[in-house]
Amino acid sequence: MTRTAIVTGAARGIGAATAIRLAADGHAVAVLDLDASSCADTVATIEGAGGRAFAVGADVADAEGVQAAVDLVTARLGAPTILVNNAGIIRDNLLFKMTEDDWDSVLSVHLRGAFLMSRAVQKHQVEAGWGRIVNLSSTSALGNRGQANYSAAKAGMQGLTKTLAFELGRYGVTANAIAPGFIVTDMTRATAERIGVGFDDFVAHAAKEIPVGRAGEPTDIAAAASFFVSEEAGFVSGQVLYVAGGPTS
């Protein structure tokens, strides 16, 4: 069945791959990112494959912007019943060097963003008696040096997911989280730059530690999202799926 999906942070990386995958699965996809023009490539890829997509610009941490974006998507593609909260940023630093702005901005985009988007979209899901929410967590939720802000946000995404599952289950809405390990995107590229390591070396080093012997690709995460939002995943809710090429500990 064709649904309307919103994927946040879908201009590139995991969000773009997920938007493209959900469109290939037959859904109409709102490709949301900070700037609508940055979504052009994702939209063109979807439309080039015969799918339906719409670019929308919004800051997920801004309540008014989120509501306006969800209203716009509803008018253009129909009421959204699938939501993938993927938008994210990193501001890594050891605790003693981490600024309040580093902390607030990371918590704001990931957690406040997922809260605001979920609150705006659940109205349509409850009305439809069907919905799917997928939140992007991370293996960093288990703790990671230099990521006090990010790991707190990603652990928070897991708590949010489980609570959404409890509250919305009776309306036919499931909520699940995907916790990726190392995925090749601009985000991991930025980490390599910050620590002064060439990206190829960084990826090769990461791959050595991963049981399946390779780094993850955005499509690895998109495949998991595709399952969680599918019709047949309706009895799977409140779960955290680590997609990391192996067990996490």
SS3 track for 51-66: CCEEEEECCCCCHHHH
Candidates 60, 59, 52, 48; CA nearest to 30 is 52
9 or 51: whose CB is closer to ligand NAP? 9
Residues making contact with ligand NAP (CB under 6 A): 8-9, 11-15, 33-35, 38, 59-61, 86-89, 109, 113, 136, 138, 180, 182-183, 185-188
| CA distance to 41, 70, 72, 82, per residue, from 75 (Å) | 22, 9, 5, 16
Integer Cα distance of 227 and 229 in angstroms: 6
Shortest approach of ligand NAP to residue 41 CB, angstroms? Answer: 11
* Length of the chain, in residues: 249
Burial zone of 134 (CB within 10 Å; 0-12 exposed, 13-18 middle, 19+ buried):
buried
- Candidate list 130, 150, 228, 242, residue with the active-site label: 150
Q: Give the CB-nearest residue to ligand NAP.
A: 13
Is residue 150 annotated as part of the catalytic site, yes or no? yes
Contact 14/185 with Cβ under 8 angstroms?
yes
1 alpha-carbon distance from chain centroid: 22
Element (H, E) at 77: helix 63-77
Shortest approach of ligand NAP to residue 173 CB, angstroms? Answer: 21
Contact 55/84 with Cβ under 8 angstroms?
no
83 or 130: whose CB is closer to ligand NAP? 83
94 or 190: whose CB is closer to ligand NAP? 190
186 or 209: whose CB is closer to ligand NAP? 186
125 or 137: whose CB is closer to ligand NAP? 137
Shortest approach of ligand NAP to residue 220 CB, angstroms? Answer: 10
Give the Cα-Cα-Cα angle 99, 103, 106 (nearest 5 degrees): 135
Q: Could you list the active site residues?
A: 150
